[in-house]
Amino acid sequence: MPENDLQPVFDVNDLQTMKVLVSRLRLKVLRVLIEQPCTIREVARELNIPPNRLYYHFGLLEQCGAIRVVETRLIAGIVENRYRAVARKYDVRPDLLNEELGEISSASKQPFSSSIEQEQSV
């Protein structure tokens, strides 16, 4: 994919990716990277925060596939990556939470119902 081409939509299909994207700071980073490719220092300057606050967040966003490296340069012996968002829009699958809640609810029903049955028999 060329540097300036963004997918129309990045579909969030798993809970882990959704957890990464719900951070207010990471959403701000994505907004900047949707507009243009940037280094971590450039994003930090744009958001008026120290760059060292962003390395962890960039790692999470890259790991889940929401951003990617579009350019790597060696400057004074230090590797500098330029990042870009992969899409213009990020959509969470509507039934993702319901699916997760359904798994939790079905797992917790058995012990809960048995405790109710015990209380009723007393």
pLDDT in tens, 4-40: 589 999 999 998 999 999 999 999 999 999 999 999 9
Return the DSSP state at 53: G
What are the structural domains of the chain?
7-93 (1.10.10.10)
pLDDT per residue over 74-86, tens digit each? 988 888 999 999 9
Distance CA 93, CA 97 (A): 8
Distance CA 36, CA 53 (A): 20
Distance CA 58, CA 52 (A): 11
Q: Which of 10, 3, 2, 4 is nearest to 89 (CA)?
A: 10
